[in-house]
Amino acid sequence: MKLAREGYPFIAVGLVLAALGWWAWAAQLGGVTSQVLAPMLTVLALFTLWFFRDPERRIPDEPGLVLAPGEGRVILVEEVDESTYMGGLCRKISIFLSVFDVHVQRAPAAGTVDYRLYKPGKYAVAWADKASDDNEQASLGLSTPAGKMLVRQIAGLVARRIVTYPAEGQEVERGERIGLIRFGSRVDLFIPLAWEVTCSVGDRAVAGRTVLARQTQEDTP
């Protein structure tokens, strides 16, 4: 399975520590301590490998679809006032990513990146409403022929790094990888009110595959 490149240092450290643990056990160093640590370090190394997995997705090609930018559980669908990029009232769809979810984010639709902003902040639990305003976050605005949309990567309680790939002015394709949040997080998607929402709170979303909304017929080129 493909791995996210941001995970390579963590994976390397995990594998080295696991190897040292088994070497200490084989050399009878540390007694019971090495016998306990070796399996624990191996489990940790395997978890790190699994956490940074970056599976390929079969991207739906039907026109007008808005795909999930993040993988996890839909925890909020509401009307909000987003003035920094959307310019007023819009729909927000929030997805909570646990440590067991794939943490690579994907573009919900094809478009041009014409807004990008990083904002430092707190590391409160990502499922809390205030996380959208208070936590460390990175916003990526996409201009599409059918309208604007905004993807916001939000750090969580144990997340300590947000990576955003596309530069301002860059074209992205639907389902293209656009970033990664390390170790538990949240992704908010902002779309125009006119677009039809096809998901509900509690739904399971798969990044780059699950349809969260549809652009209205009159807006879709």
DSSP three-state, residue 8: helix
Report residue 176 CA to chain centroid gap. Answer: 12
Residue count of the chain, please give it.
Answer: 221
For residue 94, indicate whether it is catalytic. Answer: no
Say if CB 151 and CB 55 are below 8 A apart. no
Q: Where are the beta strands (DSSP E) in 98-172?
A: 104-106, 111-119, 137-144, 147-155, 162-164, 171-172
What are the φ and ψ backbone dihedral angles of 53, each rounded to 5 degrees? -65, 145
Please count the CA atoms within 13 angstroms of the CA of 170 that sit on its side-chain side: 13
Say which of 34, 139, 185, 200 is annotated catalytic: 185
Tell me the catalytic residues: 185
